[in-house]
Copies of this chain bind each other. A is one copy, B any other.
Amino acid sequence: MCELLGMECNVPTDIVFSFAGLTARGGRKGPHADGWGLALYEGKAARTFMEPAAAADSPLAIFLRNHPIKTLLAIAHVRKRTRGHVSLSNTHPFCRELFGRHFVFAHNGTVKDVRRFALGRFQPIGTTDSERAFCALLHKLERRFKTYPSSKRAFFAAVSEMGAEIGQKGTFNFLLGDGEHLFARCATKLHHIIRRAPFRQATLADDDFRIDFSEVTTPSDRVAVVATMPLTSDEEWTVGTPGTMWVFGDGKLKATLQSR
């Protein structure tokens, strides 16, 4: 199994604190030593840092902790492989262009029988069920919408419905970014928290790291964080209901959709 981390904010924010918590699980605290990745958006474009190796000891992961990059939208992943060997092409998050923007995707779980879905122009580069499921989702979106959807409601409903369809067999917890929204589907296990004023202190559950958010924020800041398991020990995380998908935008929970 793998662990997911997403962040979506209304002001550029660095993901160092949460990423530290996640990477502590990438080989040192957790059994997720087969790769890690971190995608950071700047507008419609994302850049992805990744390594097919344990995050806990990775010089690049440590570099990113020491040189924080601020962003409005980030998706990270630490991997314990279930399908596909350890390689760069099998390392999440995956990234593809659709509608003139990057879509970024990370998956927790195993999708079964994913070969039954058409992929159209989106061909997998690696051998994971995850990348194939992502390609299937993008192909469905491209067939449904010719351009980036102007109706958020239709867009959100489509992602939710398509996610349920692709994840019908197996376990399809995922994070999907499009540069504006963070889609977070809970098949079995997902949590979120929205940090806003009054900000307070938080302590990582898996690392010797505490932060006082009131010292690094302004009163209008809103930061939504999604993770497979709560990353902090002294905050209240909202537990995801299996079969629901959250959509975050501007640091707010914009929608909660149900589909099975």
**Residue ranges of A at the interface with B (Cβ–Cβ < 8 Å):** 42-45, 47-50, 52, 59-60, 63, 67, 87-89, 96-102, 121-126, 142
Contact = CB atoms under 8 A, between A and B. Distances in A.
A50 B95 CA distance: 15
Contacts of A88: 42-43, 45, 47
Contacts of A49: 47, 49
Given A42-B89, A45-B125, A59-B63, 15 more contacts: A42-B87, A42-B88, A43-B89, A45-B126, A47-B88, A48-B48, A59-B67, A60-B63, A60-B67, A63-B63, A96-B97, A97-B122, A97-B125, A99-B123, A102-B125
CB-CB nearest 4 A-B residue pairs: A45-B89, A100-B123, A42-B88, A45-B88
A159 B67 CA distance: 39
Contacts of A45: 87-89, 125-126
B50 A47 contact: yes
Nearest to A52: B42
A141 to B, nearest CB: 13
Contacts of A47: 48-50, 88
A97 B122 CA distance: 8
A120 B214 CA distance: 48
A124 B100 contact: yes
A162 to B, nearest CB: 19
A184 to B, nearest CB: 23
Nearest to A88: B42
